[in-house]
């Protein structure tokens, strides 16, 4: 299979304090030669990652300590080759904010049966662990596709 060519990836969720920071750090570890960042559609701008997300990331040897929430904008969208989102609603929101980005938006869970990754915000540590596993699985699938 031919590998997909993307040099920069933006991971997007809702608040940019739970799912997308975890996916960003996972993908940075898997794809060290690519530029990978994250943002939110309703970002908690400049907020640190959610404490539960920090805790679950640390358990899996990822550090979110320096993360700060960032709002998705059309100009931000233009800076990346691929935009990975957690839910189909994020695809629609980005398409409204940045119609020209429509063609480069895909679900993070695209290769896992177009699976959406639900928001664990304000849920239990078990919920965060389950979401971490979904994100990790999706990132591994992207690694295989991107490295062909």
**Does residue 79 register a pLDDT over 50?**
yes
* pLDDT surpasses 50 at 17: yes
Quick one: pLDDT band at residue 3, thresholds 50, 70, 90?
Answer: low
Q: What CATH class does 8-147 carry?
A: alpha beta
> Would you please indicate which residues are annotated as catalytic (active-site) residues?
13, 19, 119
Dihedral sign for Cα atoms in the order 73, 78, 79, 85: positive
The residues that bridge with 115 in the sheet, in sequence order, are 109
Q: Distance between CA 65 and CA 54 in Å, rounded?
A: 7
What is the mean predicted confidence (pLDDT) over 49-72?
A: 97
Q: How far apart are the first and last CA of the chain?
A: 6
pTM for this prediction? 0.96
pLDDT in tens, 90-136: 999 999 999 999 999 999 999 999 999 999 999 999 999 999 999 99
Q: Is the pLDDT of residue 60 over 60?
A: yes
Euclidean distance between CA atoms 91 and 26, whole angstroms: 21
Would you list the domain boundaries of the chain? 8-147
Helix (H, G, I), strand (E, B) or coil at 124: coil
Q: What percent of the chain has pLDDT over 90?
A: 94
Q: Is residue 68 within 8 Å of residue 50, measured between CB atoms?
A: no
């Amino acid at each position: 299979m031919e590998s997909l060519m993307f040099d920069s990836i933006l991971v997007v969720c809702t608040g940019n304090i739970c799912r997308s920071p975890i996916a960003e750090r996972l993908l940075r570890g898997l794809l060290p030669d690519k530029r990978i960042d994250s943002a939110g559609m309703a970002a908690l701008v400049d907020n640190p990652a959610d404490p539960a997300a920090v805790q679950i990331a640390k358990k899996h040897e990822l550090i979110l300590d320096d993360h700060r929430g960032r709002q998705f904008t059309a100009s931000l969208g233009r800076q990346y080759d691929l935009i990975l989102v957690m839910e189909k609603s994020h695809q629609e929101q980005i398409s409204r904010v940045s119609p020209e980005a429509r063609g480069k938006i895909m679900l993070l869970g695209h290769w896992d049966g177009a699976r959406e990754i639900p928001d664990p915000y304000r849920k239990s540590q078990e919920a965060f662990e389950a979401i971490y596993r979904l994100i990790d699985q999706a990132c591994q699938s992207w690694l295989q596709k991107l490295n062909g």
